[in-house]
Homo-oligomer: A and B are copies of this chain.
Amino acid sequence: MAVGSGELGTLHPVKGISMAAVSAGIKKPGRLDCVVFSLGDEATVAGVFTTNAFCAAPVTVCKNHLAQAAPRYFVINTGNANAGTGKQGIDNALQVCLEVAELKQLPVAAILPFSTGVIGEQLPVTKIIDAIPHALDNLVEDNWLECARGIMTTDTRPKAASVRVDIGGKPVTITGIAKGAGMIKPNMATMLGYVFTDAAIDKADLQQYLDKSVNASFNRITVDSDTSTNDCCMLAASGASGIVVGADDGRFQAALDKVFIALAQGIVRDAEGATKFITVRVEGGAVPEECLSLAYTVAESPLVKTALFASDPNWGRILAAVGRAGIQNLDIGKVAIYLGDVCIVEAGAVAPGYTEAAGQAVMEKEEITIRIVLGRGDCNDTVWTCDLSHDYVTINAEYRT
């Protein structure tokens, strides 16, 4: 139950970055559930984190450590979010960091912890600590696919993306992985995303590159409008290629956007129960904010999402969602709505040439674009989402069983 082939293409190694995925037996024995990244001695790291007030313990620790020291290792576990766990949750996250710090003779703040899984249970910290030496002994440069699998929860397939970009005549590599399938409406970041480059980039510049790419990717997707407690997205630059990327390099930003958008779209394609990949595009808005909020209103409407699941061109639901999106002084006489290339609403009512057959033909596709033209300005925005299926209900009703 995922949309598209899931083909990932070549995942280039990133010089200076090594990784391992092991099984700590957190929820199920034998399952890959613990991933470690080693960043090398020169790496700079930027991060964006969930805006959920109940952010998880590892998120709190992560932010503190990132402010104190240059990160050298990421430690990620699945099967337990370590969220809603109070002071003990913080202690547990720190203990995981301490284990790596002692084995590698590093300050504890050089280790960043990440968790994903069920909220409200204490982290089985001993299991993770027991697995860490095995992970550290098996770090290799090129194990993206297994690490992408090692951070999966309800995901049905790994998400990874990789590009090479020419910067001043030299090849820079960017490769990243992400996970997420439910509780997805990132608000500054997705569930978990890790992107690496071998370029040398100043930390402040790196943060700017990350913020821009996240805004164009993870901050433009929704599965179920629920922002997670554990969202984290990290960008690490190992510097190992020796190629320096300065601030505001358009080619680097474009390449980075490409990786981030592929990862974000990969999450939507593999969303819980998804059978369709939907692009909601709003054009002709007066201000950017109304375009984004309208796109989200349509993308999050349960009635639009169930119609998409049923391949039913019940466009009245799209029209109703546009109407309730709270756009001030909307002149519905100027609104047009398209399903793919088919104009369904023109001047605020059903388009003269529209036929149910034409709408049906678009709705039966696996990838559908809903385009809403407001006719009140030059702003536009795009959000990616999926349909709402029986499997979404099944997966989330049975999540803890």
Contacts and interface: CB of A to CB of B under 8 A. Distances in A.
Interface of A: 51-55, 81, 83-87, 89, 118-120, 182-183, 185, 187, 224-229, 300-303, 306-307, 309-310, 312, 314-317, 319-324, 327, 330, 332, 345, 347-350, 388-390, 392-394, 396-401
A350 B123 CA distance: 13
A394 B226 CA distance: 22
B84 A349 contact: yes
Contacts of A390: 390, 393-394
B301 A225 contact: yes
A183 B307 CA distance: 13
A321 B119 CA distance: 12
A51 B324 contact: yes
A320 B183 contact: yes
Contacts of A228: 320
Nearest to A391: B393
Given A393-B393, A398-B310, A400-B314, A85 B323 contact: no
Given A54-B348, A309-B393, A317 B226 contact: yes
Contacts of A394: 390
Contacts of A89: 349
Contacts of A302: 224-226, 302, 388, 392, 396
A389 B398 CA distance: 12
Contact of A55 (B87, B323, B400): B323
A316 B393 contact: no
A396 B307 contact: yes
Nearest to A388: B393
Q: In the assembly, how many copies of this chain are there?
A: 2
Contacts of A315: 84, 120
Given A84-B316, A84-B348, A225-B300, 12 more contacts: A52-B323, A53-B322, A53-B330, A54-B332, A83-B319, A84-B350, A118-B314, A119-B316, A183-B320, A225-B302, A229-B323, A306-B396
18 contacts: A53-B322, A54-B323, A54-B348, A86-B348, A119-B314, A119-B320, A120-B314, A183-B317, A225-B302, A226-B303, A226-B317, A226-B320, A227-B323, A229-B320, A303-B396, A306-B397, A314-B399, A393-B393
Contacts of A397: 306-307, 309-310, 312
Nearest to A300: B225
A47 to B, nearest CB: 19
Contacts of A84: 315-316, 319, 345, 348-350
A395 to B, nearest CB: 8
A303 B349 contact: no
Most buried by B among A350, A392, A397, A398: A397
Given A89-B349, A345-B84, A53 B306 contact: no
Contacts of A323: 52-55, 227, 229
Contacts of A322: 53-54
A51 B83 CA distance: 38
Contacts of A185: 324
A399 B119 contact: no
Nearest to A329: B53
Contacts of A345: 84
B120 A312 contact: no
A303 B87 CA distance: 26
A285 to B, nearest CB: 14
Nearest to A231: B324
Given A393-B388, A393-B390, A350 B54 contact: no
The winner among A87, A119, A182 for most chain B CB atoms within 10 A is: A119
Contacts of A87: 349
